[in-house]
Structure 1
Amino acid sequence: MSTATAAPASPSAPEAASARRRRKVRERLPIYLAISPFYLLFAVFGLFPILFSIVLSFTDWDGMGDISFVGLAQYQFLLSDGRFWNAVGNTFIIWFLSTIPMLFFALVIAFLLHQNIRFTKVYRVAFFLPNVTSMVAMAIVFGSVFSDTFGLVNSALTALGLGSIPWLSTSWGIKVTIAIMVIWRFTGYNAIIYLAGLQSIPTDLYDAAKVDGANLRQVFTRVTVPMMRPIILFTVITSTIGGLSLFTEPQVLLGNSGGAGEAGMTIVLYQYNQAFTQFDFGYGSAIAWALFLIAAVFAIINWRLVSGRSDAADRTPRRKEARR
Structure 2
Amino acid sequence: MSENSTATVGDAPSASPTRGPRRPSPRGAPTATIARRHRLSRLDVRLSPYLYVLPFFLVFAVIGLYPLLYTGYLSFFSWPRFGADHGPWIGWANYSHVLHDPVFHKALWNTIGIFLLSSVPQIAVATVVAALLDTTLRGRTWWRMSVLLPFVVAPAAAALIFGALFADKSGLVNQILSGIGLPEISWHSNRPASWLAIATMVNYRWTGYNALIVLAAMQAIPRDLYEAAAIDGASRVKQFFHVTLPSIRPTMIFVIVTSTIGGLQIFTEPRLFDTNLQHQGGANYEYQTLTMYVFNTANSSTDPYPRAAAAAWILFLIIVAFALVNFVVTRAVQRRSHT
TM-score using structure 1 length: 0.82
CA offset at residue 53 of structure 1?
0.9
CA offset at residue 216 of structure 1?
2.0
Q: Is the 8 A contact 1:130 1:184 kept in 2?
A: yes
| SS of residue matched to 1:102 | helix
In structure 1, the partner of 2:86 is 67
Q: Is the 8 A contact 1:57 1:74 kept in 2?
A: yes
Partners in 1 of 2:226 and 2:286 — Cα distance? 46
Q: Does 1:259 align with 2:278?
A: no
In structure 1, the partner of 2:307 is 283
Name the count of aligned residue pairs.
285
Task: Give 1:222's aligned amino acid.
Answer: H
For 1:128-207, list aligned pairs within 5 A: 128-207=148-227
CA offset at residue 60 of structure 1?
1.7
CA offset at residue 129 of structure 1?
1.4
Q: Is the 8 A contact 1:174 1:259 kept in 2?
A: no
In structure 2, the partner of 1:211 is 231
In structure 2, the partner of 1:23 is none
Distance 1:220 1:41, change over 3 A: closer
Task: Give 2:208's aligned amino acid.
Answer: G
In structure 2, the partner of 1:84 is 104
Task: Give 2:64's aligned amino acid.
Answer: G
In structure 2, the partner of 1:298 is 322
Q: Is the 8 A contact 1:271 1:284 kept in 2?
A: yes
Q: Does 1:55 align with 2:73?
A: yes
Task: Give 1:57's aligned amino acid.
Answer: S
Q: Is the 8 A contact 1:271 1:288 kept in 2?
A: yes
Partners in 1 of 2:172 and 2:256 — Cα distance? 32
In structure 2, the partner of 1:22 is none
Distance 1:96 1:42, change over 3 A: closer
Match of 1:233 among 250, 253, 265: 253
In structure 2, the partner of 1:248 is 268
Partners in 2 of 1:38 and 1:120 — Cα distance? 35
Greater helix share, structure number = 1
CA offset at residue 285 of structure 1?
0.4
Q: Is the 8 A contact 1:94 1:176 kept in 2?
A: yes
Partners in 2 of 1:78 and 1:64 — Cα distance? 21
Match of 2:292 among 258, 262, 269: 269
Q: Does 1:95 align with 2:115?
A: yes
CA offset at residue 261 of structure 1?
2.0
Q: Deviations over 1:251-277 (max 9, x none)?
A: 111135211421111100000000135
CA offset at residue 281 of structure 1?
0.5
Distance 1:39 1:62, change over 3 A: farther
TM-score using structure 2 length: 0.78
Distance 1:40 1:143, change over 3 A: same
| SS of residue matched to 1:59 | coil
Is 299-308 or 203-212 further displaced after alignment?
203-212
| SS of residue matched to 2:185 | coil
Partners in 2 of 1:212 and 1:245 — Cα distance? 46
Distance 1:210 1:145, change over 3 A: same
Q: Does 1:117 align with 2:137?
A: yes
